[in-house]
Amino acid sequence: MPRVAAIIGVRREGVRMRRGIFVSGLMFLVAGSSLAAPAPPPVKVIATTDRRFQADVVEASSNKLMMVVFTAPWCLPCGGVVGQLTAAAERRGFGIATIDADANSVIPDRFKVSSLPVTIAYRDKMPIGSHIGPFDRDSMDSFFVQVGALDVRQGQQP
């Protein structure tokens, strides 16, 4: 049975409406019909490891800006940072990866990670900026300006 997404109007005599279901004179839009606006694809957050870091982050940064968040299961602010970056990535088109600093030691040691969360931006296979701790509105804006994910001249919002 098809899922019903929304009521869009009353059926009038002689008007043909496509891809809908008529029930008691009301038309219901079927989910996935061409009348509904397509949702943007969700941002995939990559959970990387010491072994996969080169492919998941460094190589991927040759095509787009990548944000890496060093996290741990016990770190409550880490989840907030990942959520904030995911929301911004949906508008900006950059990639996001997380790495568990407790389960992986090589990459966190390479960056001398001593507190969490830590966010590092990669572009063209090179780290180009970092931020330690959770983001507030101003710190996220300044970090995005630093790494080129926000153009202040155009008044973009993160």
- How high is the pLDDT of residue 1? 47
Phi, psi (deg, nearest 5) at residue 41: -65, 140
Asked if residues 99 and 58 have their Cβ atoms less than 8 Å apart, the reply is: no
Closest CA to 95 of 130, 139, 57: 57
Average pLDDT, the chain: 80
Domains, in order of start, for the chain: 1-35 (no CATH), 45-154 (3.40.30.10)
- How high is the pLDDT of residue 35? 52
The 3-state DSSP class for residue 12 equals: coil
With 90 as the cut, is the pLDDT of residue 92 above it?
A: no
With 80 as the cut, is the pLDDT of residue 12 above it?
A: no
Phi, psi (deg, nearest 5) at residue 69: -115, 120
- How high is the pLDDT of residue 38? 62
**The model scores a pTM over 0.75:** no
Asked if residues 93 and 85 have their Cβ atoms less than 8 Å apart, the reply is: no
Report the pLDDT averaged over residues 44-69.
96
pLDDT-derived band at 9, boundaries 50, 70, 90: very low
In whole angstroms, what is the distance from residue 66 CA to residue 14 CA?
Answer: 54
